[in-house]
Amino acid sequence: MPETNDAMLQTALDLLSAGRHPDAIAVLQQAVRLSPQSAAAFRALAEAHLGCGDLEEARRCCQRSTTLDPSFERAFYLLGVICAHAGDVDDSTAAFERAIELRPKYFDALRGLAAVAGRSGQLARALECYRELIVAGIDHSELLLEFAETAERHGDLDDAITARKILFKREPDNLENCFNLSSLTGKDPPPATPATMVTQTFDDYAETFETHLGALQYSGPELLYRAVDRCESRNDLQILDLGCGTGLCGRPFRPMAQRLVGVDLSTRMLEKAKVKNVYDELHCADVLDFLSRQAQYDLILAADVLIYFGDLLPVFSAARGRIKDGGHFAFTIECSNSDDVVVSRNHRYLHSPNYVRRVIVEAGWQIVAFDECAFRQEQHKDLAGIVAVVSPDEGRDRDSV
């Protein structure tokens, strides 16, 4: 390569380091015209196009680089990255494997291969890569998290627990890791699902949420409506729907409502609810935060939302403070097989009927309806649950609970 082109390449690399991808492209296009056999220049040009989001041109330039120099492991690694961004699993896998073949301890390529294998369902291959990285001392928290998630999906629960315990020692205040560790071990459940997990889950889930629930034969809103209808005949209620999601409770309860308010953490779920045009108000907020506002309701609903709270007392107490005299709190619960609150493997809190009854009394409510039933399926089996309606215990002042 001519000396002047060496200088051009270094200039381009400096621009790439500074994130100035369009400027780097301009320099590199001149460089490859001057030295059309330069694998390094084509690889750098591929990186610049990738930074600009032009995957097709990035791939073309990177393939040119590997053709010019079939031993250029860094070009094969970049090709793997580009193909992964494009969703081409086979070509990405082949490129990463070629990079590793050329440099057996190429840890970036090994991690790239682990990620692609994990996303494509090749979990055993992904775990092989992660274990090799960990043995080599590459065990930073992000990689351990990826390993734990992959091991759990593959059913290697001991490895998943070990990795999450290491993460817990390093980051004891990481609420998501604490929650996931509890779901694996069945021990020490935190008070509630981290809000970030709930938001991310349902933002991702919004498009397929109702279709998926249909496949699970979910009937929570209908059963909740029937339970409320047995004890409430008015059609002018102020109703609050906690964790309203896409608005599945909105339609059955709309005829009862003078005003229907929905609250949820997921903006994408709320967008789906808005389209139904049954709510007077929709709010993106945490349930407990919203219940701290000084509004009063005749009926508060919590369909399939208390599964994200281990400790139910704060929710029940907050709801007690927002209910009007003669009002009701109606909710569904998934049941555990013991008196302990547990986090299931699918990250939902399960509560025993005895625990729920204790919390009802402690929070200043009395039971109006308490029906054990199944309102959805899991793995084609009915899931034990409770549909309940409670009203304020008039013998206890709300300020004392």
Whether residue 386 contacts residue 372, with contact meaning beta carbons closer than 8 Å, is answered with yes
- Between vectors from CA 387 to CA 329 and to CA 211, what angle results, nearest 5°? 105
Cα(244)–Cα(316) distance, integer angstroms: 17
Q: How many helices (H) and strands (E) does the chain have?
A: 19, 9
pLDDT at 399: 52
Tell me the pairing of strands 297-302 and 349-350: unpaired
pLDDT at 375: 81
- Tokens standing for residue 69: 């120099």
DSSP 176-199: HHHHHHHHHH--S--SB--HHHHH
- What kind of architecture, by CATH, is found in domain 200-400? 3-Layer(aba) Sandwich (3.40)
pLDDT at 395: 67
Q: What H or E segment, with its residue span, contains residue 130?
A: helix 123-135
pLDDT digits (tens, 9 = 90+) for 8-47: 899 999 999 999 999 999 999 999 999 999 999 999 999 9
Q: How far is CA 155 from the centre of its chain?
A: 19
pLDDT at 345: 84
- Kindly give the confidence (pLDDT) of every residue in the chain, 401 residues in length, as a single tens digit, with 9 standing for 90 and above: 444 478 889 999 999 999 999 999 999 999 999 999 999 999 999 999 999 999 999 999 999 999 999 999 999 999 999 999 999 999 999 999 999 999 999 999 999 999 999 999 999 999 999 999 999 999 899 999 999 999 999 999 999 999 999 999 999 999 999 999 999 998 888 899 999 999 999 999 899 988 988 888 889 999 999 999 999 989 999 999 999 999 999 999 999 999 999 999 999 999 999 999 999 999 999 999 999 998 999 999 999 999 999 999 999 999 999 999 999 999 999 998 777 788 888 889 999 999 999 999 999 999 999 998 888 877 778 788 999 999 998 766 555 54
**Residue spans per domain, the chain:** 3-185, 200-400
SS (H, E, C) 351-362: ECHHHHHHHHHH
Task: Write the single-letter amino acid at 124.
Answer: A
| CATH code 1.25.40.10 for 3-185 | yes
Burial of 177 (0-12, 13-18, 19+ CB in 10 A): buried
pLDDT at 2: 44
Largest Cα–Cα separation, the chain: 92
- Tokens standing for residue 106: 């190429």
Whether residue 347 contacts residue 193, with contact meaning beta carbons closer than 8 Å, is answered with yes
Whether residue 375 contacts residue 220, with contact meaning beta carbons closer than 8 Å, is answered with yes
Cα(176)–Cα(141) distance, integer angstroms: 13
DSSP letter at 335?
A: B
pLDDT at 1: 40
